[in-house]
């Protein structure tokens, strides 16, 4: 199942549950998407496995952003930008601007999206307000203000919204507003000064926008008005209907569908598989040679290789390469047995914060998976009759993740 990556950092071993998004998660699953937090893995007490962190971003189908905190990390911004360039779609429920501004705010400012400190409140006599309703709940109708709904796909079947505490959203550059409130239906408060704002020079108050960089296939849809969260009651006993208000659920369904369909399908080739296997096999050899030669010296192969593999390599040596070492005749699967035979040297590569004593057989299973894929690319006829014209995304992901893991090994 494809993932929507929620930019909330959690420990992989004990992630906290995602709060107040149960209905959103249900809608996402209906469209074949899982909502997952960005999980970190500890290598030591204070060191995070960076490659594992960024690989989650590289494989995300879409993004949910409710805070700019993690976007303050330049590498995270870079990886998300790269994924959006490839076609991913991000939905951002933007918080009100911070003082002082965070570095993560730059992500949206570069897109021309900037939340303001001016909040809309319901105006008695124009908006429907019932007793006990928070003034920050704004009922927004398409009828009479069609101009405010400016994205036919996103607002398909949406005629009325009940929005929570909407702030203004500045849109400039490549950004354009796609949902606005009529100024004559609301009152405005500057939250920084706690004062009413007399009015704006325009008849609308933008609260949702869309933007993309020129070379992106994907886009960012941003809002400053809450509508995707589960219903809840705050400490002052005000009830917020969240996703259940108006046509909020329909808007959420449209949004998730757009995220699901927005990323163009990627067709992988067997040449791509060959390239990855090529890099993986060379990396496995480098790790093997470097580690065992540090223990056994230049004769590492003769000293550490199982006899059955040594004999096979000797039989393959026809003096075609008279100055070559015997190890050039190794098959990929042979490295599994070499690592198994010398497990006391290789086991440390599989130790994590949660696995102090890794199981030898389970840890080395990846060699078998790699070998099954390699059998297909080594035999073109098998490619034709493998049941698929192209390699699967799962196989590509396995190879890419394996290469990332191998590159992270410190010999």
Q: Is 389 exposed, middle or buried (0-12, 13-18, 19+ CB in 10 A)?
A: exposed
Q: Do you find a cis peptide bond into 100, omega within 30 degrees of 0?
A: yes
Q: Where are the beta strands (DSSP E) in 94-182?
A: 113-122, 137-141, 160-164, 167-171, 176-182
Within 93-247, residue ranges assigned H as helices are 105-109
* Residue 315: closest CA among 300, 335, 331: 331
pTM for this prediction: 0.66
Are the C-beta atoms of residues 34 and 1 closer than 8 Å to each other? yes
Question: Going residue by residue through the chain (411 aa), what tens digit of pLDDT does each one get?
Answer: 899 999 999 999 889 999 999 999 999 999 999 999 999 998 877 788 898 999 999 999 999 999 999 999 999 999 999 999 999 999 999 988 877 788 899 999 999 999 999 999 887 554 444 445 678 889 889 887 888 999 999 999 999 999 999 999 999 999 999 999 998 888 899 988 878 887 677 789 999 999 999 999 999 999 999 999 999 998 888 888 999 999 999 999 999 999 998 766 667 788 888 899 999 999 999 999 999 999 999 999 999 999 999 999 988 887 777 667 889 999 999 999 999 999 998 988 888 655 677 888 888 989 999 998 888 887 776 666 656 667 887 788 889 888 888 888 776
Q: What does residue 221 show for φ and ψ, rounded to 5 degrees?
A: -105, 120
**Which CATH code for domain 2-262?**
3.40.50
* Residue 293: closest CA among 397, 411, 373: 411
DSSP state of 328: G
Residue 15 falls in which region: left (phi positive, over 0), alpha (psi -120 to 50) or beta: beta
Sketch the domain layout of the chain as residue ranges.
2-262, 270-408
Q: What is the Cα–Cα distance from 298 to 88, expressed in whole angstroms? A: 49
Q: Is 241 exposed, middle or buried (0-12, 13-18, 19+ CB in 10 A)?
A: middle
Give the tokens for residue 355: 């696995």
| Three-state secondary-structure class, residue 395 | helix
């Amino acid at each position: 199942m494809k993932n929507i990556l929620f930019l909330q950092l959690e420990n992989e071993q004990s992630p906290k549950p995602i709060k107040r998004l149960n209905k959103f998660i249900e809608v996402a699953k209906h469209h074949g998407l899982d909502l997952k937090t960005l999980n970190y893995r500890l290598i030591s007490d204070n060191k995070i496995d960076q490659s594992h962190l960024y690989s989650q971003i590289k494989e995300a189908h879409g993004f949910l952003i409710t805070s700019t905190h993690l976007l303050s990390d330049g590498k995270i911004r870079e990886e998300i930008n790269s994924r959006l360039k490839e076609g991913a779609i991000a939905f951002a429920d933007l918080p009100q601007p911070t003082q002082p501004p965070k570095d993560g705010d730059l992500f949206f400012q570069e897109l021309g999206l900037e939340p303001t400190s001016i909040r809309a409140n319901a105006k008695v006599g124009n908006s429907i307000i019932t007793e006990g309703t928070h003034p920050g709940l704004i009922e927004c109708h398409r009828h009479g203000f069609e101009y405010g709904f400016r994205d036919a796909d996103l607002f398909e079947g949406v005629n009325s919204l009940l929005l929570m505490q909407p702030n203004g959203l500045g849109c400039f550059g490549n950004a354009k507003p796609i949902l606005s409130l009529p100024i004559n239906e609301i009152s405005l408060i500057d939250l920084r000064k706690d004062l009413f704002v007399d009015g704006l020079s325009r008849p609308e108050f933008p609260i949702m926008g869309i933007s993309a960089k020129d070379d992106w296939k994907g886009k960012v849809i941003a809002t400053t008005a809450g509508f995707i969260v589960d219903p809840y009651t705050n400490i002052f006993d005000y009830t917020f209907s969240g996703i259940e208000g108006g046509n909020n659920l329909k808007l959420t369904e449209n949004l998730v569908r757009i995220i699901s369909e927005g990323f163009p399908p990627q067709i992988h080739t067997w040449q791509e598989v060959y390239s990855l296997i090529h890099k993986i096999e060379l990396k496995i050899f480098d790790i093997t040679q470097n580690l065992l030669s540090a223990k056994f010296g230049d004769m590492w192969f003769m000293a550490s290789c199982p006899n059955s593999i040594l004999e096979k390599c000797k039989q393959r040596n026809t003096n075609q390469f008279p100055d070559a070492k015997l190890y050039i005749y190794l098959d990929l699967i042979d490295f599994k047995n070499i690592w198994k035979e010398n497990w006391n040297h290789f086991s440390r590569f599989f130790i994590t914060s949660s696995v102090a004593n890794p199981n030898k057989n389970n840890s080395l299973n990846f060699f078998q998976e790699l070998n099954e894929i390699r059998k297909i690319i080594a035999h073109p006829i098998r490619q034709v009759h493998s049941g698929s014209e192209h390699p699967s995304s799962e196989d590509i992901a396995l190879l890419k993740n394996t290469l990332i893991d191998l590159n992270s090994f410190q010999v």
